Amino acid sequence: MSVRHLLTLAELGSENLSRLVDRSLEIAAGDCKGSPLANKTVGIYFRGTSTRTRTAFTVGAIRLGASTIAYGPNDLQIMTGETVDDTTRVLSGFLDALVMRTNASMEEMRVMAAQGRMSIINAMSDNEHPTQAIADLTTLKEEFKQLNRVHVLYVGEGNNTAAALALGVSMTPGMRLTLVTPEGYGLPEDMLKTARNFARQYDACVEEHHDIDKLPRSVNAVYATRWQTMGVPKADPNWQKIFEPYKVTEKMMAEVSKSSETVFMHDLPAVRGGDVTDGVLDGPQSRAFRQAWHKLTSAMAVLEWCANGNGNK
């Protein structure tokens, strides 16, 4: 079997995405027998901060029977001038999978994925957070029992979480995503084009506009993210004033909710009083912390899927 990587949902495909969501739900229900990663070693290489994703992949790997080794942003000799190719040749002789987070593009991940021994898993790059989207779809399917005809309203910046969500929705038949973003802070045009192309193929819908006064009604879920992705400041000194109308409040939830069925989601960390109010994040409609827990079940599903494709070790 060839090595399996997860770099982007666009390359994962609709069928594999659906399988990973369903497997994540099975794991959540307690269906995780044996140790599919026994005698395997998973590297956790994070060049940026992380609470949920790093912990989820570490705990998930251990629960699946693997050993883990963690690398901080300055631990590998890449930082002293060793080439990515040389580092990869060494690591691929030791590791079965490398879970990576970088604040830059996924180009480094692609270079590392060129070898055929070690799986590379994108735990977030600057333009996509694929494992977050798997956790998101898992949370939604657990809540609504199916994803067909589920309508998600995303409010805020068109960041890497929004990009992954757009790809995930676009490859899920019958789903709909409406992104309402501040002018100049929407999804990159190439990402939006890719998502719309997938949506046409799978009878889904992904649309974006910038008018906060024209929110859709009776949606199934409202989704927010932190406005400063990875805490990176924005160039415009007045950006907070631009984003303020996009805060998810109790009033906004009441306006767009489909009675009590509508749920609130957030990839966390949240800026309380910034992107969302305490009343929404801690309220009865919130599934943000269940969503965070599904980072673990989705990480385990991804690690299993990658391990099952690695027959060379």
- pLDDT band per the 50, 70, 90 thresholds, residue 83: very high
Comparing C-alpha atoms, which of 157, 223, 172 is closest to residue 12? 172
Q: Averaged over 158-176, what is the pLDDT?
A: 98
What average pLDDT does this structure show over 109-134? Answer: 95
Average pLDDT of the chain to the nearest whole number: 94
The yes-or-no verdict on residue 211 having pLDDT over 60 is yes
pLDDT band of 313, cuts 50, 70, 90 = very low
Q: What percent of the chain has pLDDT over 70?
A: 98
| Tokens of residue 61, six digits | 């790997």
Looking at residue 310, its pLDDT comes to 60
Q: What is the pLDDT of residue 34?
A: 83
Calculate the alpha carbon distances from 224 to 67, 161, 264, 306, 312 in Å.
34, 10, 8, 30, 41
Among candidate residues 176, 204, 173, 207, the one with its CA nearest the CA of residue 192: 207
Domain 132-292 superfamily per CATH: Aspartate/ornithine carbamoyltransferase (3.40.50.1370)
Lowest mean pLDDT among 16-20, 22-26, 76-80, 214-218: 76-80
Pick the CATH number of 9-128+295-308 from 3.40.50.720, 3.40.50.10190, 3.40.50.40, 3.40.50.1370: 3.40.50.1370
Domain with CATH 3.40.50.1370 in the chain: 9-128+295-308, 132-292
Across 159-163, 203-207, 256-260, least confident range: 256-260
pTM as predicted: 0.96
Better-scored residue on pLDDT, 276 or 234: 276
